[in-house]
A and B are shown apart, each in its own frame.
Chain A
């Protein structure tokens, strides 16, 4: 049981390049999340999904897009990378409880370290 798997683990991009970060979970969780973590700071939510085919904006969505075509996968895209997007990106998933949302702890991947030059 792998839990949450993120690929790639490291990447260096040039300003203006695009890329997609992949997150896969094998726990049949409904909810998935993308966060960024900058030095000395906590996790800031970029986008999230409450189910297959749905996405929503988090706290810092600008410059990112996401897709949830399959329940087990959540993709984070950078269309035109900027140095300000240099960060560590974490994906997480959690189950849901009935129809009122997810009051369960999140399961995290080990992150993707992204540098934009």
Chain B
């Protein structure tokens, strides 16, 4: 899994499997977390977000889990498809002088084999 500051890891899965991408964050004051997907040659796209008053949030085929005790965030993708192949970033929002400045992890590369 990634940390908001580590070497880019790679996750390889077979089409149809479930994928889990992990992220550790450092600031216990962060209260908003976002997952982005970045396809080659494109900018990051929003997938799902979660606020610190929640432990779990589900979207279409994606679920984000937040464990504030250990400062850990995960993205679960159900029935992974080749179109899910991309780099996935987690981001945390931490306050800075009243403005919330997002900080990004270095990303996890997901490769889906047909």
A residues whose Cβ falls under 8 Å from a Cβ of B: 4, 31, 33, 35, 40-45, 48, 50, 56, 58, 90, 92, 99-103, 105-111
Show 15 residue pairs from A and B whose CB-CB distance is below 8 angstroms, ordered by the A residue: A33-B102, A41-B8, A45-B102, A48-B101, A58-B101, A99-B98, A100-B100, A101-B100, A103-B51, A105-B34, A107-B46, A108-B44, A108-B45, A109-B43, A111-B41
Task: Flag if A100 contacts B98 (CB, 8 Å).
Answer: yes
* Contact pattern, B 27-42, Cβ under 8 Å of A = 1, otherwise 0: 0000110101000011
Q: Enumerate chain B residues within 8 angstroms of A111, measured Cβ to Cβ.
A: 41-43
Contact B104 A101 (CB under 8 A): no
Say whether, besides A43-B89, A108-B43, A108-B45, A102 and B99 are in contact (CB < 8 Å): yes
| Bound form: Cα–Cα A58–B104 in Å | 13
Chain B residues at the A interface, C-beta cutoff of 8 Å: 4, 7-8, 31-32, 34, 36, 41-46, 49, 51, 89, 93, 95, 98-107
Bound-complex Cα distance A93 to B51 (A): 19
Q: Which residues of B contact A56 (CB under 8 A)?
A: 99
CA distance A41 to B45 in the complex (A): 17
Residue pair A103, B93 in contact (C-beta under 8 Å): yes
